[in-house]
Amino acid sequence: MRARSIRGYRDLEVWQKAMDLVELCYRVTRQYPITERYGLCSQSRRAAISVPANIAEGQGREHLGDYLRHLSIANGSLMELETEFEAARRLGLLSETEFTLVAKRCGEVGRLLAGLIRSLKRLWNVRRPTPGTRHPTPSNR
């Protein structure tokens, strides 16, 4: 089986799953009370869209270090979103069933994001020069 070619951020499974998470977030926060419109609802939606937005922005950057930085921001936004969903569950804004679903989706995006970060860090370590050298040593790979 041949690996799929990645031509842009839209081809990344993690970006696609993160976009699914945005849709889910908007669906579940739609039922929050009006008093949460500018509170937990707004904050959750901002955190949710930040995940795929930072994946896309990072993938569009010229330097691998910038890509990794944006993936780290996306990961932080995902942790924020998970915390906001937990708060919503504790406040009775999400049912246990809804919470289980969003937690599962967040976990899925988190695992994919962690895998991408690990993979890019390996690439980063191969490309970086060793301490004390001015240029990276050529690789026979």
pTM for the predicted model, two decimal places? 0.85
Give the rounded distance of the alpha carbon of 109 from its chain centre. Answer: 6
- The confidence score (pLDDT) of residue 7 equals 83
Nearest to 21 by CA among 92, 80, 69: 80
What's the pLDDT score for residue 124?
82
The long-range contacts involving 37-44, CB below 8 angstroms and separated by at least 24 positions, are 40/84, 40/87, 40/88, 40/91, 40/93, 43/80, 43/84, 44/81, 44/84, 44/85, 44/88
Q: What is the pLDDT along the chain (141 residues), one digit of tens a residue?
A: 445 666 899 999 999 999 999 999 999 999 999 999 999 999 999 999 999 999 999 999 989 999 999 999 999 999 999 999 999 999 999 999 999 999 999 999 999 999 999 999 998 887 765 555 443 444 544
Structural domains in the chain?
A: 10-127 (1.20.1440.60)
**Interacting residues of 74 by C-beta distance below 8 A, sequence separation 6+:** 18, 50, 51, 52, 53, 54, 55, 58, 113
Contact by Cβ (8 Å): 112, 13:
yes
pLDDT value of residue 136: 47
pLDDT number for residue 133: 45
Q: How would you label 117-126 residue by residue, b for 16+ Cβ within 10 Å and e otherwise?
A: beebeeeeee
